[in-house]
Structures are given as structure tokens and as C-alpha cells.
Structure 1
Amino acid sequence: MTVIAVAATPYVRELFLDPDTWTALQRVGEVRLPADRADVGDEAVLAGLLADADVVVTGWGTAPLTAAALAAAPRLRLLAHTGASVKPFVTPECFARGVRVTQAGDAMAYAVGEQALALTLALLHRLHRFDHALRTGADWASAKGAPPRRELRGATVGVVGASRTGRAYLGLVRALGARVLVADPYLSGAEAVTLGVERVGLDELLARSLVVSLHAPVLPETAGMIGARELALLPDGALLVNTARSALVDEAALLAALRTGRIDAALDVFDAEPLPVDHPLRGLPNVLLTPHEAAGTVESRRRAGAIVVAEIDRFLLGRPLAHEVRPEQLDRTG
């Protein structure tokens, strides 16, 4: 009997494994859980759970599969992650040991794209500024004095990164009438035509776009890719949306640009998380903030759980995995 170790906290299990998904997982194999109140972030706890496991399901807070943890898991053949990035869990030893890796990031793409759209619309219509003014006691006339509002239809939107979330977002904004530019060195001309977008360099995208939405992974070449120089390329009144990774942007440079009032931003990710209660971003009227929850819809979580179960089933039947992460791909994921 295949043993499936669910090395996830109760919180993660509740989010991703609803009753139907849990039942489906139990049909696939014998499910093992950590002991009550055991910390799966502890390598010793993880090693004990994996002792006779063929498959491990990971989530936020799971310890990485180090050489020591793998040494305690001689039967382990598959790691199935409930989220997108597997970097916190997968080590070189995993691949050296022949452990295959899969993840459920595809489940989250639409949710992130839809929130990025919601943030885009809120910025365009200055909802964040109106809300801030009314909540901080501005009189009615002053509250109405936001900068000019714009519509998405006919606007030029720049998408940095033709990732799964980037493609979900650009499809949504195109459906509402936006013109879309994409900066992504891995996007081919043929793909750009298929997506109905114009492929451009980053500087051109920043200079031409009313809205810039970030959807790139954090790689050596993308970390800090939006700094003071790049922010200065944005037109006056431009809007920046970041539902990807905070490391893509120089936060100090962004804060300086926002303090001038020249641009507005919507941010779901931050250098320090949780965002400190006294962080200066919290007090700016031209910033819309959400607490790293872009992917957190009920539907997204259910899709992720279903993907994990389906991948385990494919693996056990000897079929190709639909969402496998291979060793050469690990460095290209965020």
C-alpha cells in the first residue's frame, strides 16, 4: 500500500484539503499525519513522518528535505507541494536521490490575475485615495479632490513577466479593452501574437504604460529590476501593481517615488512580512495594501488540493506528471 505523508500544518490541511479532496487522497493511498501539535517545520519531526512514506505532501511551514531527512525516508519517491514555489522544501539531495517534485502553482494563477485586475481598477478609479480621505476625516469636498480617474478600456497596460499569473492577468485586462505590452525575455514573438500582446523591452514598457503589473519570478536577473531609474521612466500618474514578489522592486526607491505623489501603487507583497504596523507605506494615501493574499480564494485552494491528488494519482499509475519541476527548472522559478 502506498503511504502518503501529509507534512503540513492543520491550517494548511484545512485550506487545501476540503472533505472531498481529503476523501480522494485517501482513495489513492494510506494517509499519514504528524502527531497532534507536532511541528512539521522541525526536521526531526519530518524525518519521523517520512520513515515509510512513498509520497510527501508539503505546505507552508514544512521543513526542507535535507540529506538527513531524506536518509530517514528510503522509500520516498515524490514530493507534491500544495503551493507554487518549491524552493523552500526541495534541496539538491532530493533530485540526487531520485525524488520527483510537483507543485500546484497553476491553481493560483487565475486568482492572482483576478486580484491584480481588481487592484488595477481600484487604482484607476482612485478608490484607495477616496477611502483614505474619508477614513482620515477629510471633508467631502477635499475627499473628492483625487487626481484624475481613468478607464481601463483603451489604456496601455504593461505586464512584466508572461508567467501563469501574468497570462491570466493580461487575458482579463485585454477582455476589458486594454492594450497590453509584455516584457519577458522568454516570450517568443509567436507567443506574443497568440496572446494578442506587443513584446517590448522593460524600459519601453515602463515609459509607455499607464498601468504596470509585475508577474515575474525572483531570479538573479530580476531581483531589484525596478529601482529608482526604472520608476523615473514611468509617466506622471502611472500605476504600479505588485502581486508577485517584493524583491522585484527596490522598496526604498518605491517609497521615495510614492512620497512625491507622482505615481500610485497597489502592493500585496513586502520586504518585511508581516508588514510592520509603523511602516511608512501604511500612511500614504496613494498606496493600496493587501496582506499577501492574492492567491487566497476558496476556489484557488480547492484547485490546488485537487492538483496535488491528481499528480499523486498520475505518479502511482506511471503516467506523466502535469506540473513536474525538474532540476534544471528549479532556478527559473520564483
Structure 2
Amino acid sequence: MSEMNLLIMNQSELACFLPGRRQREVEELIAPCCVIDAEMMEPEEWAELLARHNPKVIVGGWSLPQLPDGVSWMAPRLEYLCYVPGTVRDKVSCKMIEKGLLVTNWGRSISRTVAECALLLGLSCVRRSGYWNDRMHHHGEWKDDFVTTKSLFDRRVGIHGYGAIAKELIRLLSVFTSKVTVFSDGVPKGVFDYDGVECSDSLNSLFSENDVIFEVEALTPERVGVVDEALLRSIPEGGAFVNVARGDLVESKGLLNVAKEGRLQIGLDVFNEEPLPATHGLRGCMNVMLSPHIAGPTTDRMVDAGDHAIENLKRFCRGEAVVGPITPEVYERLT
């Protein structure tokens, strides 16, 4: 066995995640290192590669093949999978993590760009940007005396969830309003008190007592469909609902019913079914802003994920704890 660590990325991934000197820095950190484009590699070739190089560390991008269940004998030295993008569910099994394999992904490095997209959708909703963009481009229209638009300044804003994205969003919203409340089941009230954040008593009160709702909660089996039609209807008429978290947090039929009625402005970056079918009922609703799951990271900020990976590789090499390890509990929340 050559005992060679692996950097598994194609050229486009290297350019996105590790531009400039970053690729060289990764190679130096995990030297000796072999850079491989495994995108078209067959499973048997991948297994043979692991057995031949016996890596201690694998750094991978989207093109990384799934680690086979027999990786423990193909690459018995393997300690750390530093996956640079997001979900690792199709790259490594939870069983491998339970057996001690250290795994990280882009973690919180993308939080600010997701929060930025949430703010964009929220502003677009209250300003009805999607509606006017369509009417001016495709219908030759102009405003009339009955146009109603709203501002985000001094609006009551509710945030469902209290992870890294929520905290970044609160920071961005501070420019517009101080009337922000948060709800996340399982987060002790003392945490909100310590952070100086106002929390709602319940999800019901969060939705019914705020004009704009941002959905940024983590998806768990218990939260599938937690935002149902009744909750959406409890948002004051003329309000807005924005989801940049996971589509399955929202009950799809109820969302479509409310969307078609036009009583709310809605901004969606995630959906129950992705890609969103061309014939889906949400398409064509002029009160619904749609974006195709592109909240973050943006193309120019993929480098943030690369920098996060480099920092974790440095920590690993120094024998320090990495930032945001994928535990079995975290793994189960990934989609």
C-alpha cells in the first residue's frame, strides 16, 4: 500500500472551492497527497483505488464516489472524510460515523449567504417584486392609483429556527427592525435570554403575531409538515412567508391552497419535490417568489466552504477538535 491521502475533485470543483493557492495548501496539509477526478470511476475502480492508496484523509467534492461499506478493510487507515460541500448522506453511511470515522462538511460556512437569500425573498415579498417584474416584462403594465406595496422597516418578523442561519438573519434584519421574535422547539429559553433574543411561547403565536415569517428550522422526522395550512392561515392577511430551510417542513397541499388564494406573499427556495415540476401549481402564482434551491452558497462564495475545510484540516493535523463534526444525530437531520 502506498499510504497516500486523496483529494477527490474535478476541475470545476477545484476552481470553485479551492481557487488560488488553496488547492496547494490542502495538498501540503495532507501530504503525501494524490489529486484525482473520480467522477466517471466505476465502483470497482474506486474500491481498488482506496485499497491501493490506503488514505488517512480524504478531501472530497460533489464528484466524490460513495465510500463503500467495506472501506474499513480497503482503507484501514482512514480517519477523516473532509467533505467540502453539504449533505454527506450519499457519500458515507451513518454506521461508519458510529464506528469512529470523523466527517465534516461545509457546516456554518454557508449560513450568511442563506440568510442573505432569505432577506432577498422577504424584501421581494413585501415589495411584490415578482408580481411587478412579470407585469412590466410580459404585460406592458405600469403602476396605477391602487398599487399597494409594503416595507420591511419596523415590521414584526418571526423566525422559525435558531441555528446559524437564524442568527445571521437576525443580524441582517437589525438594519430594518427591532421587532424580531424566534421560536425553536428544543432550545431552552435560557439560550434566548443569554443571546438577548425574544422568543415566542409557541409556533402558533410566532405565526399569528408577526407580519413576516422566515422558515429556517432544521428538518427532523418530528418536524415533517409541522407548518400546516392552519399555521399559514394564521399569518395576518397581507403578510409573508419565506422558506429557505427544507420543503418538507411545510405541508405541501396547505401551502398550495394558501398560495392560490393570494392572501399572503410567499418566497420559496426549497420544495417538497425537487426539481419543482414544470406543471406544479405554485408556478404562475404571482404572489409567490420562486428560486431553485440556490440560497447558498453563491458561486462566488463557494470559497467560504473551501476555507472552512482548510481550517478543519489544520485542526485535524494539530490534533485539535474540528468545527462542526457530523455526528450520528446530525447525520439523521441531513437531507
* Fold-level similarity (TM above 0.5): yes
Residue 156 of structure 2 corresponds to which residue in structure 1? 156
Higher alpha-carbon deviation: 197-206 or 61-70: 61-70
- Contact residue 50 and residue 76 of structure 1 kept, 8 A: no
How many residues align structurally?
Answer: 330
Q: Deviations over 1:155-189 (max 9, x none)?
A: 11111110111111112112322411111123332
Residue 88 of structure 2 corresponds to which residue in structure 1? 86
- In 1, Cα distance between the equivalents of 2:5 and 2:18? 14
- Contact residue 7 and residue 49 of structure 1 kept, 8 A: no
Q: What code does the residue aligned with 2:166 have?
A: G
Residue 95 of structure 1 corresponds to which residue in structure 2? 97
Residue 216 of structure 2 corresponds to which residue in structure 1? 215
Residue 324 of structure 2 corresponds to which residue in structure 1? 323
Higher alpha-carbon deviation: 1-10 or 117-126: 1-10
- Contact residue 209 and residue 235 of structure 1 kept, 8 A: yes
**1:130-209 alignment runs, 5 A limit:** 130-141=132-143, 146=147, 148-200=148-200, 201-209=202-210
- In 1, Cα distance between the equivalents of 2:3 and 2:296? 31
The Cα shift of 1:254 comes to: 0.8
**1:104-119 alignment runs, 5 A limit:** 104-119=106-121
- In 2, Cα distance between the equivalents of 1:47 and 1:176? 53
- In 1, Cα distance between the equivalents of 2:146 and 2:21? 51
Higher alpha-carbon deviation: 148-157 or 6-15: 6-15
CA distance 1:2–1:115, change in 2 (3 Å): farther
The Cα shift of 1:145 comes to: 5.0
- In 1, Cα distance between the equivalents of 2:155 and 2:56? 51
CA distance 1:130–1:310, change in 2 (3 Å): same
**1:1-334 alignment runs, 5 A limit:** 3-28=4-29, 29-35=31-37, 38-39=40-41, 43-51=43-51, 52-141=54-143, 146=147, 148-200=148-200, 201-298=202-299, 300-333=301-334
5+ long unaligned stretches in structure 2: none
CA distance 1:194–1:307, change in 2 (3 Å): same
The Cα shift of 1:229 comes to: 1.9
Higher alpha-carbon deviation: 310-319 or 27-36: 27-36
Report the 3-state secondary structure (helix = DSSP H, G, I; strand = E; otherwise coil) of the residue aligned with 2:221: coil
- In 1, Cα distance between the equivalents of 2:45 and 2:249? 34
- In 2, Cα distance between the equivalents of 1:64 and 1:196? 43
CA distance 1:333–1:279, change in 2 (3 Å): closer
Q: Deviations over 1:185-205 (max 9, x none)?
A: 233323323444321111100
Give me the identity figure in percent: 26
Report the 3-state secondary structure (helix = DSSP H, G, I; strand = E; otherwise coil) of the residue aligned with 1:33: strand
How large is the RMSD of aligned CA atoms in angstroms? Answer: 2.3
The Cα shift of 1:280 comes to: 2.5
5+ long unaligned stretches in structure 1: none
Higher alpha-carbon deviation: 48-57 or 21-30: 48-57
Q: What code does the residue aligned with 2:295 have?
A: A
Q: Deviations over 1:251-272 (max 9, x none)?
A: 2221111100111111111223
The Cα shift of 1:16 comes to: 1.1
- Contact residue 44 and residue 69 of structure 1 kept, 8 A: no
The Cα shift of 1:226 comes to: 1.0
Higher alpha-carbon deviation: 269-278 or 213-222: 269-278
Higher alpha-carbon deviation: 219-228 or 298-307: 298-307
- In 2, Cα distance between the equivalents of 1:36 and 1:56? 12
Report the 3-state secondary structure (helix = DSSP H, G, I; strand = E; otherwise coil) of the residue aligned with 1:280: coil
Report the 3-state secondary structure (helix = DSSP H, G, I; strand = E; otherwise coil) of the residue aligned with 2:174: helix
Report the 3-state secondary structure (helix = DSSP H, G, I; strand = E; otherwise coil) of the residue aligned with 2:70: helix
- Contact residue 225 and residue 250 of structure 2 kept, 8 A: yes
- Contact residue 84 and residue 106 of structure 1 kept, 8 A: no
- In 1, Cα distance between the equivalents of 2:224 and 2:302? 28
- Contact residue 133 and residue 285 of structure 1 kept, 8 A: no
